[in-house]
Amino acid sequence: MMQTFDAIIIGAGQAGPSLAGRLTAAGRKVALIERKLVGGTCVNTGCMPTKAMVASAYAAHLARRGAEYGVVTGPVAIDFAKVMARKDTVRFDARKGNEDWLESMEGLTFIRGHARFESPTEVRVGDDLLSAPQIFLNVGGRAVVPDFPGVEDVPHLNNVSIMELTEVPEHLVVIGGSYIGLEFAQMFRRFGAEVTVVEKGPRLIAREDPDVSDAVRDILEREGIAIRTGAECIRFFKSDGGVGVGVDCTAGAPEITGSHILLATGRRPNTDDLGLDKAGVAVDKRGYITVDERLESNVPGIFAMGDCNGRGAFTHTSYNDFEIVAANLLDNEQRKVSDRIQTYALYIDPPLGRVGMNETEARKTGRKLLIGTRPMTRVGRAKEKGETLGFMKVIADAETKEILGASLLGTGCDEAVQSILDVMYSGRPYTTITHAVHIHPTISELIPTVFGDMQSAE
C-alpha cells in the first residue's frame, strides 16, 4: 500500500531532524527514515564521542604536567574502560535526546529501515512504499579503505571501530596525516600508546599553509609521536610483532611494525545503495550528489544535505545546509550555499581554528595583501595557562580592508576564530576588530593586536 507525504527525509544526521522540525511546524506531513543511528556521524562516531575522548586525553596530559603548576601528583595511570564508558555516555545521551525529539514530533512518521528510490517521487523501505513531491537526502558518509597493497590481508581500524577498543594499543600506526588521523594520534599517545603517523604526502594537513603544517608537526613530535612523511609506497604485511607497514620514506627505516593500524585516508558518501539511478539523480565521479546553490539535485524536488553533497564535510556545514533549504522553501528567502564562509577546526591540543582563505589561497587571488602574525608565546592568556605552542595568522585585503581569512593555532583558538568569522559575515573591515574592546584575559583580546600589526605581503 502506498503511503503519501508532503516530504520524505532520508537520514537522521544533523540536517534531517532539524528540517523535519521546521516542515512539521509548518503543517507538512513528513516521513523521516533512518537505517542505523539517529544523530548521524557527529553524535555517534564523530564530534561528540571523539571530543569526549580528547577531553580525557587532555586531562591525562595536564595531570602529567601538574608539577609545572605547583600541583603535586603521583604517577598518572589511564583507566581506559572508564574513558570509553564516559565517551559512550556522552553519545548515548545525545542520541536518546534526538530519538525522543523525533518520536514526539507531531506530524512526523519516523521509520527505521533502508530507503531506496523507486522513482523520483517514490521510496521503498522494506515492504512499504512511500511517496512525496519533495525528498531530502541526509545520508552522510563513511571511511574509505585505501587501495594499498596488502590492506585486505591485515586487521585494521577506522574512525568508528577504533572507538570500540577495550585496551590502549601498544603501537598505533595512523595511516593519513590529516584531521581525523592527527586527533586520534595525539589522543592515543596521551593514553600511553606508542604512535606513528604515516603520510604519503610531503607534509601533514596538506590543505593548510606550510608554516601551519610545520607547527602542527612540531607540536605532535614534542609529545613523542613519530611522523613519517613522503611515504610513497605504503603497503601492509603480516608480521610476528603485529602488522608490518612498508613506508619507503626518503628518511628513516623502510618498514615499521604496529600492534594496531588506523586507516584515516578520507571518506566517501553513502550514496551507492540508494537507487539514485531509478530517480535519475546525478552524482560526480566520487559519488557525491550534484546540487545547485539551493542544494537541489538535477531532479526537481530532490535535495541533498550534509556530507553526501560534497559541499562541506562538517557538522556545522550540514546544519547550515538545513538552514539554507528551510529558508528558501519556508521563509521566502534567497540563500545560497556559496554565501557560506569556510570555517573549521582541527581538535588537536592546542587546536587549530581556520576561517576563510589561508595565505596560499589568498596569494593566488592576485590581491594586495596585509598579513599579521603573532606567536602564542606573546599571548598573555597562553602564558598564564602554560600553553604557548602555536601562532596566530590573519590576512586582509590591503585596499578594501576586507578580512580574507585566518589560521589560529593555539589554546582556545577553536573558539577565538569565531570572532573573526562573525566580522567577515557582517561585511565589515578588519578595523572593526581593532577598534573593539575584548574581555581580558582571553585569547580573543589578542586578535585586534594581530590585525593591528599587519604588514604588506611581498
For 180, the grid coordinates are: 581525523
User: Residue 382 and residue 391: Cα distance in Å, rounded?
Assistant: 10
For 163, the grid coordinates are: 572507538
Amino acid at 146: P
Give the number of other Cβ atoms within 10 Å of residue 400's Cβ.
12
Contact present, 150 and 175 (Cβ < 8 Å)? no
Amino acid at 301: G
User: Residue 216 and residue 224: Cα distance in Å, rounded?
Assistant: 13
55 Cβ neighbours under 8 A, 6+ residues apart: none
3-class DSSP assignment, residue 64: helix
User: Residue 402 and residue 135: Cα distance in Å, rounded?
Assistant: 39
User: Residue 218 and residue 390: Cα distance in Å, rounded?
Assistant: 9
Active-site option among 114, 171, 438, 440: 440
Contact present, 259 and 102 (Cβ < 8 Å)? no
Taking the mean position of all CA atoms in its chain, how far away is CA 38?
Answer: 18
**300 burial class (0-12, 13-18, 19+ CB within 10 angstroms)?**
exposed
Query: Considering all CA atoms of the chain, what is the largest pairwise distance in Å, rounded to the nearest integer?
Result: 71
CA-to-CA separations, 252 to 10, 246, 256, in angstroms, rounded: 48, 11, 10
Please say if 435 is a catalytic residue.
no
Q: Of the candidates 143, 152, 146, which has an alpha carbon nearest to the alpha carbon of residue 179?
A: 143
Residue for grid cell 611515504: 231
Three-class HEC string of 326-352:
HHHHHCCCCCCHHHCCCEEEECCCCCE
Contact present, 371 and 454 (Cβ < 8 Å)? yes
User: Residue 164 and residue 155: Cα distance in Å, rounded?
Assistant: 14
Residues marked as catalytic: 440
